[in-house]
Amino acid sequence: MTVRKRTASINLARMRKSFALKPLAIGIAGVFLTGCGEERKEGIIYTSLQECLNDNPASAAETCRSAFQEAQDEALRTGPKFSSEYDCEYEFGPNQCRTVNTSSGSFFMPFMAGYMVSSLLSPSRYYSQPMFTSYSRHSPFRSRWVMADGYVFDGDIRNRKYRVRDSTLAKKPEVNRTIKRGGFGSSVRAKSSWGTSSRKSGWGG
Amino acid sequence: MHGEPYWDETAYYQFTLTQIEQHLEDPTAELHAMCLDAVEQVVNSEELLAKFKIPPAFWDSVHRSWQQREPSLYSRLDLIYDGASPAKLLENNADTPTSLYESGFWQWLWLEDNVNNGRLSRAADQFNSLQEKLINRFAEIRQYYQMPSDAQMHFSCCKDTDEDRGTVQYLQDCASEAHINNGFVYIEDIGIADTGVFTDLNDEPLQWCFKLYPWEFMLRESFSDALLTSPTQWVEPLWKSVLSNKALLPLLWKMFPSHPNLLPAFFADETHKISQADVKKWVYKPLFSREGANIRVVENGQTLLDTGGPYGEEGSIVQAFHQLPKFEQNYTLIGSWLVDDQPAGISIREDHSAVTEDLSRYLPHVIL
């Protein structure tokens, strides 16, 4: 025989099993590696667009506006999301949450309480991050500034200036908040009541 | 399983190399190429997409999926072959074929053990490069999508089916061999997030997902709308919904009439063509059906057999009845595997009864 028609070798240790089920994969939480010598920048928190405009030269007005807009977009993309208003208010306080409707369903998230900007006047690029705070007695975020990923700043919300690392100002990962499950698989439930098949099996051919 | 063994090691089928290469491997490659020609026609024709009962909302997506040649993993052609006359294509399981683990691993191990024990000649070979090709294919898919090293491919099948879970576990193992991190989520547990992405039970996004679940179901269930907007890359890709569709059989017969490896086939509503064909015995099959459900055998207008079942509302096709070959007391069907476009081996199922497509025992084979 010259050419074999079969697989040359198989990793038996891995493949030999009696269909043992593995546990569900556990997602790996994002870990930010913060370098020790990482530079710190001044970050300033504004609670409104007007505050930013008042606090900066007129030439920075456009930057204030885009930083505000960016923070609002980021709040929606990366901010905490809840499936019920109760859960959201438990964390952020009464009347602190809004409903967000999307094509795939609705959920609740806290209002953006402010936004942190850094390097606003720099010719290269500025940073802008949405900031949240809580009015709930139950929450560790109460009267503190907190970022979309849960990073809590020291001191209470009267503090508006912080020395922050670049990584703290970096864009946060998108948060996927599952709104609904069970949208696939209904055909199986509908058709599996029928059972003359010789094998109890699935939907492969 | 009716108390009968599914995996039967007491017997095996023996082929010559000529039979394997010229009667099975070459026709498999040719049939597959013909099927891809048919896909090219379907995705470019609204009339055919409608005949294939692809929901109109997905016509653009199916077309795009094919134009971009989104990578496929595997298929299984079911062939009727008696050892001498040309193999006939019974159907193409291109979307969710099972019995993969038995074929790629157990059958291989069976030969290895029997050769090592001296029960089979050292010269005995097997047409079975499934596992090798699956691992290579996963590596190609990883490169095609430029998956980062920390990326995860999800694998999914329905709950309460040990057989499907086994197939999927095997594919996960093959993916691991190709250095793809992988996780699992049941089809029923898949969620949709506010961001429009499908999620697993940990709210992790499904970026790449192998699904052992038919496209024809997914396109009709409540998450189908989200398929149009979610960024998930599915394996098998959406264009496989055309390839796995039984409407492919009449289209093939139309494109390649009298091809030696095809059986005459028509759409069930082409009654004049059916009556004009030189065929007495027909098998009616729903466009979407599984495991021999809703099969009706009709001879001279008389229904000889009706297996019943939940399928058929989308329409049917007819295919000329072709007797499965009988060896001793058993009827035999060949599953001929492809990994992407490459023939990759065969598996053999047999049963005492001749009802096609629901053969209960799996048997190994050798080439000598």
pLDDT, position A190: 59
From the list B173, B8, B112, B347, the residue with the least C-alpha distance to A20 is B173
Count of structural domains within chain A:
1
Which of A135-139, B147-151, B231-235 has the weakest average pLDDT? A135-139
Cβ contact, residue pair A7, B132, below 8 Å: yes
Instruction: Give the model confidence (pLDDT) of A79-135 as tens digits.
Output: 888 878 888 888 889 999 999 887 767 888 899 999 999 988 887 788 999 999 999
Alpha-carbon distance of B92 to B251, in angstroms, equals: 13
The neighbour count for residue B176, using CB atoms within 10 Å, is 16
The neighbour count for residue A196, using CB atoms within 10 Å, is 11
From the list B354, B351, B290, the residue with the least C-alpha distance to B4 is B351
Consecutive 10-residue averages of pLDDT for chain A (205 residues): 79 59 26 51 93 90 92 89 85 91 80 92 85 89 88 88 87 79 81 41 48
Which of A190-194, B108-112, B141-145 has the weakest average pLDDT? A190-194
Tell me, yes or no, whether A150 lies in a domain: yes
- Euclidean distance between the first and final Cα of chain A, in Å? 34
| B75 phi, psi to nearest 5 deg | -145, 165
Instruction: Give the model confidence (pLDDT) of B304-353 as tens digits.
Output: 888 777 777 788 999 999 999 998 888 999 999 999 999 999 999 888 87
Tell me, yes or no, whether A197 lies in a domain: no
Block residue for tokens 């699956």: B134
Cβ contact, residue pair B127, A6, below 8 Å: yes
A3 in B contact zone (CB under 8 Å): no
Residues of B with CB below 8 A from A21's CB? 165, 169
Query: What share of residues in chain A are helix, strand, coil (percent, to 5)?
Result: 25, 20, 55
Cβ contact, residue pair A24, B218, below 8 Å: no
SS3 B361: strand
Task: Copy the structure tokens of residue B133.
Answer: 């090709």
Q: Once rounded to an integer, what is the mean pLDDT over residues B184-188?
A: 96
pLDDT band at B3; cut points 50, 70, 90: very low
Residues of A with CB below 8 A from B295's CB? none
Tell me, yes or no, whether A68 lies in a domain: yes
Question: Per-residue pLDDT for B184 more than 50?
Answer: yes
pLDDT band at B226; cut points 50, 70, 90: very high
Where does residue B256 rank: exposed (0-12), middle (13-18), buried (19+ CB within 10 A)?
middle
Q: What is the dihedral of CA A122, A123, A125, A129, to 10 degrees?
A: 40
Decide if B358 contacts B8 (C-beta within 8 A).
no
From the list A101, A97, A92, the residue with the least C-alpha distance to A150 is A92
Q: Which domain holds residue A74?
A: 2-192
pLDDT, position A82: 81
Tell me, yes or no, whether A200 lies in a domain: no
Decide if B82 contacts A189 (C-beta within 8 A).
no
Q: Which of A21, A28, A200 sits opposite B165 (nearest CB)?
A: A21
Where does residue B217 rank: exposed (0-12), middle (13-18), buried (19+ CB within 10 A)?
buried
Tell me, yes or no, whether A203 lies in a domain: no
pLDDT, position B351: 83
Q: What is the dihedral of CA A62, A64, A66, A70, to 10 degrees?
A: 180
Best mutation target among B195, B209, B336 (most A Cβ atoms within 10 Å) is B195
Instruction: Give the model confidence (pLDDT) of B207-219 as tens digits.
Output: 999 999 999 999 9
Q: Which of A185, A198, A200 sits opposite B187 (nearest CB)?
A: A185
Q: How distant is the Cα of B206 from the closest Cα of chain A, in angstroms? A: 11
How many residues can be counted in chain A?
A: 205
- Give the DSSP H/E element, type plus range, for residue A180: strand A178-181
pLDDT, position A22: 27
Alpha-carbon distance of B95 to B287, in angstroms, equals: 14
Which of B74-83, B146-155, B284-293, B329-338 has the weakest average pLDDT? B284-293
Alpha-carbon distance of A150 to A144, in angstroms, equals: 11
Alpha-carbon distance of A147 to A133, in angstroms, equals: 9
Cβ contact, residue pair B108, A7, below 8 Å: yes
Tell me, yes or no, whether A201 lies in a domain: no
- Dihedral (CA of B243, B248, B249, B252) sign: negative
Q: ipTM of the predicted structure?
A: 0.85
Decide if B80 contacts B88 (C-beta within 8 A).
yes
Tell me, yes or no, whether A204 lies in a domain: no
Output DSSP code: residue B277: S
pLDDT, position A173: 77
pLDDT, position A166: 82
pLDDT, position A193: 40
pLDDT, position B7: 62
pLDDT, position B6: 60
pLDDT band at B291; cut points 50, 70, 90: low
Q: Is the pTM of this model over 0.90?
A: no
pLDDT, position A27: 23
Instruction: Give the model confidence (pLDDT) of B51-86 as tens digits.
Output: 999 999 999 999 999 999 999 999 999 999 999 999
Tell me, yes or no, whether A124 lies in a domain: yes
